[in-house]
Chains A and B, each alone.
Chain A
Amino acid sequence: MIPFDYQRAQTPAAAAAAVAAHPRAAFLGGGTNLVDRMKLGVATPELLVDITHLDLDRIEELPDGTVRIGANVRNSDLAAHPLIRHRYPALSQALLSGASGQLRNTATTGGNLLQRTRCVYFQDTTTPCNKREPGSGCSALEGYTRYHALLGASEHCVATHPSDMAVAMSALDAVVTVQSPHGRRRIPLAELHRLPGDHPEHDTVLDHGDLITAVELPPSAMAARSRYRKVRDRASYAFALVSAAVALDLDGDHISDLRIALGGLAHKPWRALRAEEELRGGPATQEHFRAAAQAELAAARPLKGNAFKTDLARTTLASTLSDLAAPGPRHEEQR
């Protein structure tokens, strides 16, 4: 680690201003990813602005039914909160499927969104990586790609976004509120992260000094019938090979509305708009689920080490849809 200064911010605006004023400054939340990257030499901030003492740690319901989650709410507290467990079960499931109990107790909502890829080359400063060092090349293209992207990648970067939480939030139409040095703004979560294109060094559309202050979940009847399914190499404590967050609104045996986001497949949580379109208004049958999954994955561009994920993504999505549509205890409970 290189030497750095440390300060505690007093207000969100002051935190944003402090980071914006120093090109090598970074916000410090729980630090579970940032401190690790500093140890690896991947992140080299000269100033850490600690935001964990700001008043951003509440989960509250707004008058219109929106649930606002402060950026400092710890992952474990969010997963266990009754509002989330009852109204947005996919989000609880996604959080609980990520990391370990110790890490969830420390990691924050804002930090989870802004964690960086675990691509082995990004994390290894002895290898070329366009995300870490623009223009140096992508080692993964001819390397280890089991955890890499099938969808939306570029010739410059095939990394995936590692968050489970963000995948569920994307399917739940979440909105991110941001404090910048110049004011506040709102960004739909689905537009927060970007595809790598020619600039894989930018994970999100945020500017230096933009501070995420909250995530808002709009009221949604559909969200109560939502699920997150994660497929991984170990039963616990592993990143997703493939994951699916699905919310479903059924009218009899027809799908009146739905949301799908896929994880482990792209540089951002992948909203499966194509599959949603195929299914919206149609019958909730296995055949349709499989066809929609097929249509979504038609654009897959597998690499040598991750070709198996195309089939895995198709079957994971189709089975999550059919689990959610099937009458069962969960289904009965919600009537």
Chain B
Amino acid sequence: MHADITLAVDGEEHALRVDTRTTLLDALREHLGATAPKKGCDHGQCGACTVLLDGRRALACLILAVAGDSCQVTTAAGLADGDTLHPLQQAFIDHDGFQCGYCTPGQLCSAAGMLQEAAQGWPSAATTDLTAPPVLDDTEIRERMSGNLCRCGAYPGIVAAISTAAPHTGVPEGSR
């Protein structure tokens, strides 16, 4: 059973026909050749497939492509502005935020989405006062990034990279 859908991936419109069983992750990787999102566990537990779906971070492995019809998808490859790296990408390089790199595209999209959430004043489980704007310290970053696993254990570098890049991603001062 098939469906005709459109997806805008990193700014480019695509029309494609998918089996209804196809996940957004498989549509991106297998149909469109967008291989920045990675397949780790394929069960929503590792975060390697994280993309920005209509601007919000989401797991592409648990979303059916047919349900994502007409959505805007940003992958880690689309974060950069041409050859100019996104501040998070540059910070991951500067702070050794990866070793093998497999989880990195998911980490980057997750961090980009997370910084937007913090900028909107969203609390996390690490926020002690739910009524005040969150302060994005290392504890907050770790909690907010807990859905992205790194088997190389590059967490200290990842936290440092996100902390360093946060001021350069358009996140207002008050929420840092």
Which residues of A come within 8 Å of B, CB atoms? 1, 3-6, 28, 31-32, 35-36, 39-40, 48, 50, 52, 76, 79-80, 85-86, 89, 92-93, 96-97, 99-103, 105-106, 235-237, 333
Contact = CB atoms under 8 A, between A and B. Distances in A.
A40 B45 CA distance: 14
Nearest to B117: A101
B91 interface: no
Given A52-B67, A103-B147, A86 B131 contact: yes
B125 A6 contact: no
Given A86-B131, A92-B130, A236 B62 contact: no
A4 B44 contact: no
B99 interface: no
Given A99-B147, A101-B57, A31 B62 contact: yes
A100 B63 contact: no
Interface string B113-146: 1100100111111010011000000000011111
Interface of B: 1, 3, 19-21, 23, 42-44, 47, 50, 56-59, 62-64, 66-67, 110, 113-114, 117, 120-125, 127, 130-131, 142-148
A101 B113 contact: yes
A6 B3 contact: yes
Contacts of B44: 32, 36, 103
Contacts, number: 108
Contacts of A89: 130
Contacts of B124: 96, 101
A223 to B, nearest CB: 13
Contacts of A3: 1, 19-21
Given A4-B1, A4-B20, A76-B117, A31 B58 contact: no
Contacts of A1: 21
A80 B142 CA distance: 18
29 contacts: A3-B1, A3-B20, A5-B1, A6-B67, A28-B64, A31-B63, A32-B59, A32-B62, A35-B62, A36-B44, A52-B67, A85-B130, A86-B130, A92-B123, A93-B130, A100-B148, A101-B57, A102-B47, A102-B50, A102-B110, A103-B59, A103-B147, A105-B56, A106-B59, A235-B146, A236-B125, A236-B142, A236-B143, A333-B131
Given A31-B64, A85-B130, A86-B131, A106 B58 contact: yes
Nearest to A329: B129
A138 to B, nearest CB: 24
A102 B57 contact: yes
Nearest to A123: B43
